[in-house]
């Protein structure tokens, strides 16, 4: 197996491999191009994003600056949004569902290193995928670690360090991240009432 194949299979690989180094350089060039676009050039940004990433859904958008390792391992669902300065270390795949909101400076780390220094010092590493479901909101400065799945409908508090799977429809936070409480119909009713009040007084949210 090549180092590229080993990386995809979750086995130890060496990032110094020529093919991997070339792929990372491609991503850096495209990230730099993306991060230096004119703020009003949404069409140009979308084109670069679709060239850089593995797949991009409808109306998906990432605010500059964007940093990633390969790009091709990142898959964005419809209406994905990431705020400023997010980092995607995508040696493993990073897959997002639809309507995922990511706050500033969130980091997604799929890559890891051996615990034993004698092996770690050879620069060998391995990767585990990250999966984020639909309708997830991730607060600022959260860190998502290798192998984690975040269930649909959940909210992660700012600063969360997520080292294990998070179930659907919960509020979670802390370091290490843990479930704080379920999200319930009471939450839905509270925010639905707030939305109706907004639409009653503000033209932007009115229907019809």
Which residue do the tokens 């949404």 mark? 42
Residue 184, exposed/middle/buried by CB under 10 A (0-12, 13-18, 19+)?
exposed
Q: Tell me if 103 sits within 8 A of 84, measured CB to CB.
A: no
Q: Which residues pair with 59 in a beta bridge?
A: none
Q: DSSP of 142-177, one letter per residue?
A: -EE-TT-EE-TT-EE-TT-EE-S-B-SSEEEETTTT
What is the bridge-based pairing of β-strands 86-89 and 107-109?
parallel
Q: Which residues pair with 111 in a beta bridge?
A: 127
Which residue do the tokens 């194949």 mark? 5
113 assigned to active site: yes
Which residue do the tokens 């400065």 mark? 141
Task: Give CA–CA dist 30/37, Å, rounded.
Answer: 11
Catalytic residues: 113
């Amino acid at each position: 197996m090549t180092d590229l194949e080993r990386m995809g299979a979750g086995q130890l690989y060496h990032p110094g491999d020529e093919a991997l180094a070339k792929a990372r350089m491609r991503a850096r060039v495209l990230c730099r191009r993306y991060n230096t676009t004119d703020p009003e050039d949404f069409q140009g940004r979308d084109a670069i994003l679709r060239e850089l990433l593995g797949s991009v859904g409808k109306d998906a958008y990432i605010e500059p600056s964007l940093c990633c390792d390969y790009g091709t391992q990142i898959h964005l669902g419809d209406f994905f949004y990431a705020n400023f300065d997010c980092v995607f270390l995508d040696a493993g795949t990073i897959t997002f569902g639809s309507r995922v909101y990511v706050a500033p400076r969130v980091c997604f780390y799929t890559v890891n290193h051996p615990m034993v220094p004698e092996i770690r010092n050879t620069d060998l590493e391995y990767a585990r995928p990250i999966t984020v479901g639909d309708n997830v909101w991730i607060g600022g400065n959260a860190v998502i670690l290798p192998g984690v799945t975040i269930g649909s409908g959940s909210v992660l508090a700012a600063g969360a360090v997520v080292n294990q799977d998070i179930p659907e429809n919960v509020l979670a936070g802390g370091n290490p991240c843990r479930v704080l409480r379920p999200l319930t119909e009471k939450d839905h009713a509270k925010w639905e009432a707030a939305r109706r009040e907004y639409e009653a007084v503000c033209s932007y949210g009115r229907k019809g």
